[in-house]
Structure 1
Amino acid sequence: MSEYTERSAQELVQPIILLVDREEPASEQHGIAAAALASAQAFLHDPANPEWHQWAEGAFAKSVRRADAKMFAKVRAMFPDQAVSTVGEASAVGLPPMPAAELPKLLAKLQVSGTQLPVGAPLPPQPLTIVLNASLEMSTGKAAAQAAHALLAWVLESKVATVSAWAGAGFPVGVVALPAKEFRKGARKAAGPVIADAGRTEIEPGSTTAYVVTAKTR
C-alpha cells in the first residue's frame, strides 16, 4: 500500500495543524487529543458554515499537518478567528473544510506523513475518552486524524445539550490505546460511531481505528 493516495481536486478536507516543537515536542497522547479537540472546536466555532455540512456528507477527510513554532505562529496569523486548542503540553489549530487542491501555500507545504511524537506521560482519565486501536500501530499523525474523526462524529451525532455540557466543562478529553480484543469489546459501548478508515495512508481500508466513550456509556 502506498503511503499516500492523492485526493480528488475538489474533495473537501479539514486541515488540522499540530504544533511539533523541534526541541521540546509534546507527548503523543497530548498531541492526539489536541488535534482531535481542534477539529471539534473548529466546527463548533461556526457550525452554520455550509461547507461543514457538504464535507460531513462526503469522505469526512482530515489532514493533520505538523508545524514548528515559527510556522505555527504564521498559521495563527493567517487564521486569526480560529482558536488554538490546547491539551496539556500540546497545541493544535483546526480549520474549516476546504478543497484539497486549494489549500493556501502556507498549509500545503506543511508535512503530513511521518509525524511522530514521543510517548511521554499519559493523559489523566477524563469523562470523555477517545479509544484508539493499538494493534494498527498508527503514527501520531494518523492516530490524531482518526481521533479527530471519532470526536467530531460524536459531536455531530450527540444532542446539543450533551455537547454544550461537555463544552461547559472545559472540553475534557482523554486518549487511550487498547489491544485489538479490548478495542472490539469496548466498541460495543461506544458513545458515537466506530470509525472505519478509508485506507489512504498507513493501514488497510476498512480498519476500525477509533471511537468515543463517555462516563455514561462505560
Structure 2
Amino acid sequence: MQIVLHLEKTALPARSEILAAAAQAVAAACLLGEAGLPGSPMEAALAGWYGLKIRKVARRASGAGWRRAQDVPGCTVTRASGAQARAIMPGRVAAVPQAISRLQIKGTDLPADAPGAVDGAWPLVAVDASLGMSAGKAAAQVGHGSMLLAAALPPEVAIAWARAGFLLAVREVPHEEFLALCAAPGAVVVADAGYTEVAPGAHTVVAVPGRGTADSN
C-alpha cells in the first residue's frame, strides 16, 4: 500500500500530525467505502494484499502531485490541524499507478515536535523514538499499527471507531515508555520486516486502544 503525505514547503504540518493522518488514512482505506463491498475493486485489492507480505511505502506530494493522487482509488484523511494523507488502494509494487510512482520516497522527513500528552479517549499509536526513523518510514509503520489495531478490535468496537473517523494520536516516545506501552491491555505491536532503516524484527510501533475503543467484555 502506498501512502501519500501532503507536504507543502510553505506550510509543512507538524510531524506528529502527518503521522496521525497517515495512520487514520490506512485504517479508513481498509474498512470504509468499497473496502467492505463484495466484488468491488477495493475489496478485491485488499483481499489479494492480505494474502501477501504486507508492505507500505510513504511518499510525499505537493501541488499538482497531491491533486493527481486524489484521482487514484484510495482514502484521504484531513486532520483538524490541516495535515493530510492518502492511503492508496493496495497492489503489487510493479503496478503502482504512475501518478503515485512518480512521487518521491527518499528524503521524506520532518523535524520532531512536542505535541504534549494525549487524553486517552482514542487510540495511541506510539513510535519507538530510539530507532530514529524518518517521517516517511514512521508513516508506514503507524499505518501498520492502526491497521493491526482495527483488525484486533471486536467488530462493534471497530465500527464505533470508524464512525468517529478513526480518531487517534501518534506520539514518538522514549524506548522505556515504548516497552511499557507494549505491555498495556489490548496493545498490538508492529515488528518490521527490516527492508529499510531498521533491523529485521525490530518493534517499531505499538497501538494501544483508548477509552473509545476499549473492549468492554
Can you give the 5+ residue segments of structure 1 that lack an aligned partner in the other structure? 1-13
Can you give the 5+ residue segments of structure 2 that lack an aligned partner in the other structure? 37-42
Structure 1's 74 and 123: CA in aligned 2 closer, same or farther, altered over 3 A?
farther
Q: Tell me which residue corresponds to 1:4.
A: none
Q: Tell me which residue corresponds to 2:164.
A: 169
The counterpart of 2:35, out of the listed 20, 29, 47, is 47
The counterpart of 2:138, out of the listed 112, 136, 143, is 143
Write the letter of the residue equivalent to 2:65: M
Q: Tell me which residue corresponds to 2:150.
A: 155
- Do the aligned residues in 1 keep the contact of 2:16 with 2:115 (CA within 8 Å)? yes
TM norm structure 1: 0.86
The counterpart of 1:61, out of the listed 48, 55, 58, is 55
Write the letter of the residue equivalent to 1:186: L
* C-alpha RMSD over aligned residues: 1.8
TM norm structure 2: 0.86
Matched ranges for 1:5-44 at <5 A: 14-44=1-31
Q: Tell me which residue corresponds to 2:89.
A: 96
Aligned length: 202
- Deviation beyond 3 Å, 4+ runs, structure 1: 118-121
- Do the aligned residues in 1 keep the contact of 2:22 with 2:143 (CA within 8 Å)? yes
Q: What displacement does 1:215 show?
A: 2.6
Q: Tell me which residue corresponds to 2:66.
A: 72
Deviations 1:25-46 (A, max 9, x none): 1010001011111111111123
Q: Tell me which residue corresponds to 2:181.
A: 186
C-alpha separation between the residues in 2 aligned to 1:149 and 1:179? Answer: 20
Among all aligned residue pairs of Structure 1 and Structure 2, give the percentage whose two residues are the same amino acid.
31
- Do the aligned residues in 1 keep the contact of 2:17 with 2:83 (CA within 8 Å)? yes
Write the letter of the residue equivalent to 1:140: A
- Do the aligned residues in 2 keep the contact of 1:27 with 1:121 (CA within 8 Å)? no
